[in-house]
Amino acid sequence: MVITYLSLYLLFIIAVSLVISFLVMALKLPSPRLIITIVMIFILSPLIFGYFYLTYFESLPEMIVPDVTGLPLEAAREKIESIGLKVREAGRVFETKHPEGAVVSQRPEGGRRVKAGRVVNLMVSSGKRKVPVPSLVGRPLAQADEILSAAELRVGDIRFEQNNNPAEGTILAQEPLAGEETVAGDPVDLLVSTTVEVIVEESTEEAE
């Protein structure tokens, strides 16, 4: 690293010297003191910058970034900060593979070698996506599957209740209720009217 920097620095000095010599000849600058000042500024500025770079950056120890994908955010933060790195929550994203609050991805990735104090950006799962439940009460049972599929839900348990007022197969109640939010893909239980007598089987427990 040092040899590379010195080589580049030498090339820089040669280039600056040629440019300044050309300017002196072309512009006929009268003041040698001004020329010397400009030359010194151009020559010393990369040398000073290189000194601070090599002293403060290159002297920092290197470490391997731990893989925290799948860990809860706080656990991931503790694991990363324990080895001298910093953590920044880069945002939240919907992710079905990881529970809410777990790390979905990280930059730099696990296994990378970085300098101490480097910031590791973590993308966190926002949990399962929630959707509003559509209203099914008063609709025929035959429409329930199509309506729920469009809302990214599905038909759950169906119970029947004898009721002669609505037409056969009319939905009387639903759970969750219309307008509530539930996780995408969850079932919606339905209570449906029927003109047939419903026999409810009751389970009995043996007395001890």
Instruction: Please compute the mean of the pLDDT values over residues 32-57 and round it to a whole number.
Output: 63
**pLDDT of 149-164, one tens digit each?**
999 999 999 999 988 8
Encode pLDDT of 73-132 as tens digits: 999 999 999 999 999 999 988 877 888 899 999 999 999 999 888 999 999 998 878 899
Phi and psi torsions of 7, nearest 5°? -65, -45
Work out the percent of the chain whose per-residue pLDDT is above 90: 50
> Nearest to residue 133, comparing CAs of 175, 171, 94?
175
Q: What is the pLDDT of residue 208?
A: 46
What CATH number labels 62-125?
3.30.10.20
Asked if pLDDT for residue 40 goes beyond 70, the answer is no
pLDDT in tens, 161-207: 988 888 899 999 999 999 999 988 899 999 999 988 766 665 444 44
Q: How far apart are CA 31 and CA 40, in angstroms?
A: 15
Please answer whether residues 169 and 141 qualify as being in contact, where contact means their C-beta atoms are separated by less than 8 angstroms. yes
- pLDDT at residue 58, as a whole number: 60
pTM: 0.47
Backbone angles phi, psi at 162, to 5 degrees: -70, 125
CATH 3.30.10.20 range(s) for the chain read 62-125, 131-194
Banded model confidence at residue 67, pLDDT cuts 50, 70, 90: very high
CA-based Rg of the chain, rounded to a whole angstrom? 36
* Pairwise pLDDT comparison (46 vs 95), residue with the higher score: 95
Task: Give the CATH fold of the 131-194 domain.
Answer: Trypsin Inhibitor V; Chain A (3.30.10)
Q: 3-state SS of 63-93? A: EECCCCCCCEHHHHHHHHHCCCCEEEEEEEE
| Mean pLDDT score, 17-45 | 63
